[in-house]
Amino acid sequence: MNLRQIEVFTNIMRTGSVTKAAKALNVSQPSVSKVLKHTEIRLGFPLFKRINGRLYPTPEAEILYNETARIDEDVAHLSQLAFELSDAGVGRIRIGCPPSLSTHVLPMGVQAFRASHADIGVQLTISPSSLIRSEVINRRADLSLAHFPTSDPELDGVTLDTGRVVCLMHVDHVLAKKSSLCSDDLMGHNMIFGYADQEFLHLIDEATPELRKNATSDLLVNHFTVATSLAQRGLGVAMVDEFVVTGGHFDDLAIVPFEPEIPIHVGVIYPRYKPLSTAAEKFIETLGDALADFRNSNRLTTKK
């Protein structure tokens, strides 16, 4: 079956009649009937039976439709994409991002980018850190914000900024006035840990092997943003990636650096063997500039 035959067949299946299919395709009814007849001849079996004046699909047609409907949707998507690319000055960037960078860092970059590139569409997809790399490798995203290092041979990337692990707690917490906190300071206080980001937990365990083993922790969450809200409500001390709170405004939340310092590197990953579009390269540059501007003006601010 060629694409025209698939289009006609799929529309007859969806509408239930040749007349309605012709209307949906904006062609004449004889034209649709002719394509259908040629399709059945080429396939060697009938696709529809007329019973009491109505058209009913054969079992073979039902099986074919499971595949042709998907192909028809893909072709429609391809046509729309071609239209967007043919429109001078218009493009689209598909950007992936893990939850920990999506609340403040990603919006900061998008805001800066759109200020000078309002004609370029931006599609954002937030995925767990464990899926970020596959999103880019499988071309579901043109690029993605990510934590480094990354060692996947199919990916390349650039580090844009380096932060650190910090502790979050309500401003009235007994530890809130300290200039920094170590694992000994945290013993005896209820801890809030994120269990979904194994790479982050590995960094903590590598720097302070005894902390998670000995700390009191009965609050486990799968998103750092939830850990932040729980700490803000006085439910414990959360250890998070600094970029979770970078650029945010948090009433009654104390942000205290953890010692020894645990570096957190963030940047952008993209396919190693697929050239980036000009727009994607500009987004990476703009995001780097936005992070640098923020780093120079405001970092680890506690709002009371």
Q: What pLDDT digit, counting tens, does each position of 153-204 carry?
A: 899 999 999 999 999 999 999 999 999 999 999 999 999 988 777 788 888 8
Beta strands 263-271 and 155-170: pairing type?
A: antiparallel
Helix or strand or coil: residue 210? coil
pLDDT grade for 299, boundaries at 50, 70 and 90: low
Kindly state the average pLDDT of the residues 265-279: 91
CA-to-CA distance for 64 and 196, rounded, in angstroms? 41
CA-to-CA distance for 160 and 289, rounded, in angstroms? 9
Residue 69 has pLDDT above 80, yes or no: yes
Closest CA to 255 of 163, 188, 184: 163
Distances from the Cα of 46 to the Cαs of 29, 41, 75, in angstroms?
19, 8, 25
Helix axes 129-137, 198-207, angle to 10 degrees: 130
Q: CA-based angle 123:196:233, to the nearest 5?
A: 90
Q: CA-based angle 78:81:85, to the nearest 5?
A: 135
CA-to-CA distance for 261 and 27, rounded, in angstroms? 68
Count of Cβ atoms closer than 10 Å to residue 193 Cβ: 21
CA-to-CA distance for 104 and 228, rounded, in angstroms? 13
CA 211 and chain centroid, separation: 31
Phi, psi of 224 (to 5 degrees): -65, -30
Kindly state the average pLDDT of the residues 67-92: 74
Average pLDDT, the chain: 88
Q: What amino acid occupies position 283?
A: F
| Residue listed under structure tokens 């914000």 | 145
Residue 46 has pLDDT above 80, yes or no: yes
Q: CA-based angle 31:34:39, to the nearest 5?
A: 130
CA-to-CA distance for 233 and 227, rounded, in angstroms? 10
Give the least confident one: 166-170, 252-256, 277-281. Answer: 277-281
Domains of the chain, each with CATH number or no CATH: 3-86 (1.10.10.10), 91-160+265-297 (3.40.190.10), 163-263 (3.40.190.10)
Cβ partners under 8 Å of residue 41, min gap 6: none
